[in-house]
Amino acid sequence: MKNLGILLSGRGSNFEAIARNVAAGKIPAKIALVVSNRENAPGLARARAMGLNTRFIPLQGKDREAYDRDVVAALKEHQVDWVCLAGFMRVLSPYFVRAFPGRILNIHPALLPAFPGLDAQKQALEAGVKFSGCTVHLVDEGVDTGPIVCQAVVPVLDNDTVETLSARILEEEHRIYSEAICLLLENKVRVENRRVALL
């Protein structure tokens, strides 16, 4: 059974969806640790309430790599095999990425490579696209640039606001993040350069 480490900064609804699927036996893994850079992240409180191991790791003036060394140490201490970023609003250092080569996943609320970075749903609305969605990808040393594992398409409606579009995308995020985790844990994909193919 593989160990998952979840990193989050806020609400933690993607974490909760993953945790539900783990508890239901739909994801063949254990959540070994939930880490947050924000002490008051609601997701961290939920993880605690579920009886999971949690760790608040404060930034405290550390530079990016020093901070990431603390996070990686905590994940290794809990024998984490796969890292899932679930609304973790920090860019990982090369040190972190190299500590879990090909074993870090992220969810992004747009169809990458469109609208990377912050406020992806607002970027999509402002660009006037008719469809947006979400992407689960492996994390490399860039920002939202790694190989794409799963995507889901969501229509953009004429009367959408950032809130309504985000809510519609979020439902799909909850579905495809667990799907992507299962594909990888069960070795059902082959990663070749930027392309992830189903076996």
Kindly list the residues in this chain that would bind ligand GAR in the complex (CB under 6 A): 8, 10-14, 43, 86-87, 107-109, 120, 170, 173
Catalytic residue among 78, 108, 137, 174: 108
Instruction: Report the alpha-carbon distance of residue 28 to residue 5 in Å, rounded.
Output: 14
Smallest gap from residue 152 Cβ to ligand GAR (A)? 11
Smallest gap from residue 75 Cβ to ligand GAR (A)? 19
Nearest partner of 169 among 181, 179, 157, judged by Cα: 157
Nearer to ligand GAR, 107 or 124 (CB): 107
- Which residue's Cβ has the minimum distance to ligand GAR? 87
Residue 108 annotated to the active site: yes
Nearer to ligand GAR, 131 or 192 (CB): 131
Smallest gap from residue 187 Cβ to ligand GAR (A)? 25
Nearer to ligand GAR, 13 or 132 (CB): 13
Nearer to ligand GAR, 163 or 192 (CB): 163
Smallest gap from residue 186 Cβ to ligand GAR (A)? 23
**Catalytic center residues:** 108
